[in-house]
Structures are given as structure tokens and as C-alpha cells.
Amino acid sequence: MPVATQTALTLDKVSHAFSGNQVLSEVSLEIPAGQITCLLGQSGCGKSTLLRLISGIERPQSGRILGASGLLSGPEAFVEPEDRSIGFMFQDYALFPHLNVFDNIAFGLRRLPAAERMQRVKETAGHIGITHLLRRYPDALSGGEQQRVALARALAPRPHLILMDEPFSNLDQGLREKVRSQTLAILRDFAATAIVVTHDPQEALAMGDQIVLMRAGRVEQTGTPFEIYDHPVSPYAAEFIGPCNRLTGLWRQGHLETPIGTFRGALDLPEGSLALACIRPQALSLGQEGEGIPARVLSKTFVGESEQIELQIHPLGEPLRMHSHRRISAPVGAQVSLLTNNAEVHIFPRDGDDPEGAPALPGQENSKSDKNT
């Protein structure tokens, strides 16, 4: 029998506003102990505000936040940030420029006796691999070294929870992937409970045991990386985690009929109503002549690990995007045969989440609903 995961933090209907602008609306979450939870969403969705409420920098206007030891924030109580056993790693690392690395790491250990404080700093630095940096100052460190020092400072007090706000956004692409991998290994090594804020879906998929996708101050979907990617709950969730082709089709007998094929779904819709297919670019491939749907190659872009191809299919007004890890020999303008992997097709009801311009079936163009009504 699997062992039940303990909960390190619970948010119960947490809401918050700034100057009348509702930033968070009744957010409820459970953060598993010993795991990494990624708060994922675009700018302004409320993810960084949620981190500030958890840390105690801000107090929620309604709702409750409970830690392992009890109530942290609520109408009846508020625990100050320094008493929450929560480490916070800021986006810009916020190292003290006048302190060397040793003293930066030791900053949160002032309540410990001097000998124990020194031992803790050395243990943490050794664990993270920065012992050789202890006497240097922040201005003598690279971006990756500063990031590891900031992580060491957050972990040194052995907090119950560590919060990380866009921790890799200031690093260039190559270094970001390396430092992210190192950070993930360190957090795993410490068996840390961490909440990481990011706007990057690939980062969330790579790091998170749990992903919380946020949208306009609310939780859109919570799940493992595989659940979020393979079973999105809405077109927004499907497209945020990765690009999609949107096609409108007709719902008949448990299937969605579209110009590029018929796809099985699990929707409870009236026969003949419109529904939406979100088709990932990697779901599309080219087959032998006559195997699939006739298409024409409009453009090809080589991006190193894959080719991105635009395909025109009658009667669609807009091209479909296809990603292929195989080199495509067909030149621009060539007629090809298009195949679809149904496992990468997600079916949703047609509602206000479907924008104007999602390709519709012939004869159904006037059935498009106005998303603003």
C-alpha cells in the first residue's frame, strides 16, 4: 500500500486585493511535504502574491493559511515571517554586498551559538559545493554562484518550507538549465519542501512533483507534470503548457468530427453541437501518399532539435503547426499526406474559452459564439 503523503502547508479560500484590484480569489491548495510544488502562470496571475502571503510579508484579506505547526494567517491569528520557519529565495537573490559568502549564509543563524553557527554554515556550503567561495564577496561571484549562495542561505536554518520566486530568470539559457538541474538535485538531497514560482512551463515540468497552474487569481488545474500535460482540464491549460492547434468540429456519438479526422472524447454534449479540439504540433506527422489527409507545406523552420512546419489543409482558413524530430524532405509547396496521433489531441466543450478565429467546419462559420457575451 502506498504511504500517504503528509501536508506541509494548507491554503483555505485565500483571497487578496490591492487598491480594489482582486489579485487572488478563494485559492485553496495543499502543499505536500518533501516535494517541490511549482506555481505556474503568466505575469499578473497572482502567483508571486501567493508566495508573499505564505511567507508572511503580506497578510491575506480573507481565508486561512495553515502550516505543520498550526495556523499561520487567518482572521484569528497571524504569525510573523521570522517565526514561520520559512526560507525565501528572492528573484534577484538579495545577497548582502557588504558581507562575504560565509556571513551571508550565517545571516539567518544568529540565534545559534557561534560554534554551531559556524558548523552549520560549513555543512551547508559543503553540501551545495561552495566551500571554496566562503571568503568571497557577492560582486566576485558569477550568476550561478550567487544563485547557489542564495539557496544555501535559505536552506541553512533548516526551514520547514522554502519559497523561490522565479529563481532562474536572471540567468541566460545555457546557465539556467545547468543551475536549475543543480538546484533540483540540492533540494532533493535536503528532502526539502519547496514552492517555486515560474512562468516557464518547461521549467515547471522539469522541476515540479506538483504543478499548480494559475489563471487570473484562481487555480486552473493542479496535478503532477504528466497529469497537467496529458490531461489538461481546459483549452487554456492545454495551450499554456505547450502550443496547440485549435479546431472546431461537430460532436456526434461520442466523437468530434473535424476536417483532419474524427477524435473520440468524453464529453456530455448534445448531438450536433460544436466542440473544440486542441491538437499538439507533435501529434501531426507525415505519412506515405494516400495514408492520411492531403496537405501542402507552407513553410519550414529548422530550430536544431526539430523542424517546425506549417501545413495548409482544405477547407481550413489557417495553417496547422507541426513539430517533427525527423528531417522532413518535402520542400515548401509540396503536397503531403498528414497523419494524427490521437493521444496528443484534447477535446473540450466549445465555450467562452474558445477565441474567435478557431477554424470551424464548412457551413458552421455563422455558429461561432461571441466569447464576450
User: Can you list the alpha helix ranges (DSSP code H) found in the chain?
Assistant: 47-55, 101-106, 114-128, 143-155, 173-189, 201-207, 225-230, 235-241
CATH of 7-237, one of 3.40.50.10800, 3.40.50.300, 3.90.1150.10, 3.40.50.880: 3.40.50.300
d(CA 33, CA 45): 25
pLDDT in tens, 253-290: 999 999 899 999 889 999 999 999 999 999 999 999 88
Question: Where do the domains of the chain lie?
Answer: 7-237, 243-345
d(CA 9, CA 16): 18
pLDDT in tens, 306-315: 899 999 998 8
pLDDT in tens, 63-105: 999 998 899 999 989 999 999 999 998 777 789 999 999 999 9
Output the CATH code of domain 243-345: 2.40.50.140
Rounded to the nearest 10°, the torsion over CA 215, 221, 226, 229 is -50
Residue 369 clears pLDDT 60, i.e. is over it: no
Residue 370 clears pLDDT 70, i.e. is over it: no
The secondary structure of residue 198, as a DSSP letter, is E
- Cell numbers that stand for 212 in this block: 499548480
